[in-house]
Amino acid sequence: MRVVIQRVSKGQVSVDGETIAGIGSGLIILTGIGPEDGEAQAQYLAEKIANLRIFPDEDGKTNLSCLDVGGEAIVVSQFTLYADTRKGRRPSFVNAAPPEIAEPLVARFAELLRAQGVPTQMGQFGAEMLVEIHNHGPVTIVIDRD
């Protein structure tokens, strides 16, 4: 699994002009699934992200987690995180898991984040989404978990 985590002051996901997810302070988590990924990777990332200290404390130091600040999350499936651009000019996505593997694992990842105590919403798998990200900081973290 590969995630891009963005700390946000607010975020929103829309499909066909309709808002399907929206949060205030928290995390937008762009999530890519590889063909060999499973429960272990999802569990690891859910625990890691819920407790990742990337929010400022009263002194402005990044000492607080999403749980500490009562933040929320939106998980957005993004197979393009597995783009291979080494050859030519058109990215290849053969390293991304097929939908029958990716879709349930993205949903399970969101469920595991909720189980960690982070209120979590989701984008719509396979849809063309408009993702509004008000990156706060900016803070952007990339985590690969094989």
**What digits encode the pLDDT tens for the residues 9-27?**
999 999 999 999 999 999 9
Active site residue 78: yes
Is residue 125 flagged as an active site residue? no
pLDDT attached to residue 145: 80
Candidates 6, 12, 41, 78; catalytic one: 78
For residue 146, pLDDT over 70 is answered with no
From CA 145, how far away is CA 2, in angstroms rounded?
6
Could you give all domains of the chain from N- to C-terminal order, each with its CATH number?
A: 2-144 (3.50.80.10)
Q: Which two tokens stand for residue 120?
A: 């979590």
User: Is 79 in the active site?
Assistant: yes
Q: How far apart are CA 86 and CA 115, in angstroms?
A: 38
- Out of 31, 41, 79, 120, the active site residue is 79
